[in-house]
Amino acid sequence: MIHSTAIIHPNAQIGSSCEIGPYSVIGEHVMLGEKCKLHSHVVIDGHTTLGKENEIFPFASIGLKTQDLKWKGGVTRTKIGDHNTFREYVTIHSATSDGDATVVGSHNHILAYSHIAHDCILGSHIIMSNAATLGGHVTVGDHAVISISAVHQFCRIGKFAMIGGCSKVVQDVPPFMIADGNPAETRTINKVGMERHGISDEAQNALKQAYKILFREGLSIPNALVKIEKELPSLPEIQHLVQFVRASERGISK
């Protein structure tokens, strides 16, 4: 299932039942898992590994050299899991420093023109809408939804978080929350996203109270976290939220 116009380096490792469309280019150090489907004009290069059953649409470019001017050479990697969709013109760049990797998990849906920069770490079940852009070293948790927006380097997007369209994200977005604006501010809990994924009513109610304490009572972040731990039930979701906020280096989008 390899088109005659595709160019595949003889050392590339291609899994069974892969489909590689016209004018696609596969580099020397690429490993494709079984049943991956590459539509036409796909470029995969660098030390890049993809798991099984990934689908990549025309003009996507995966694993090429970072755009970071600090790049000094060495072996940098791009690691991608299973069952991902990368739509037209998606770009995913390799890491910057020798031995490091850009990582994308599984079951993600990365829409057209989206960009995942060097050293980003993405979890699974993430949606990036058309032209969403992640700067270098961005971390994105599972089930996050990022509409067309720009995320500053070194920011963290928590799991089950949602970023509104045309947002400018310059600080961390806490898990289970919706952020929107320029610069982005945390607006409310992601109630619909949590309902869709079976998070309990008890946890949703507790997260709503945590949101009010963090963002509506005028407390400092350390004092707000102490109040949350003291007054709200010690649910896994609350513990995760507190740990995420406490570990923030850039601050959270308020």
Q: Which residues are catalytic?
A: 118-119, 136
Per-residue DSSP letters for 220-252? -HHHHHHHHHHHS---HHHHHHHHHHHT-SS-B
Decide the pairing of beta strands 133-134 and 101-104.
unpaired
Question: d(Cα 89, Cα 52) in Å, to the nearest integer?
Answer: 21
Exposure string over 46-64, b if 16+ CB within 10 A, otherwise e? bbbbbbbbbbbbbbbbbbb
Check the CA dihedral 107-179-129-79 and report its sign.
Answer: negative
Give the length of the chain.
254
Token pair, residue 12, equals 């590339």
Using alpha carbons only, give the angle 44, 107, 96 rounded to the nearest 5 degrees. Answer: 45
Strand order in the sheet with 7-8: 7-8, 25-26, 43-44, 61-64, 91-93, 115-116, 133-134, 149-151, 167-169
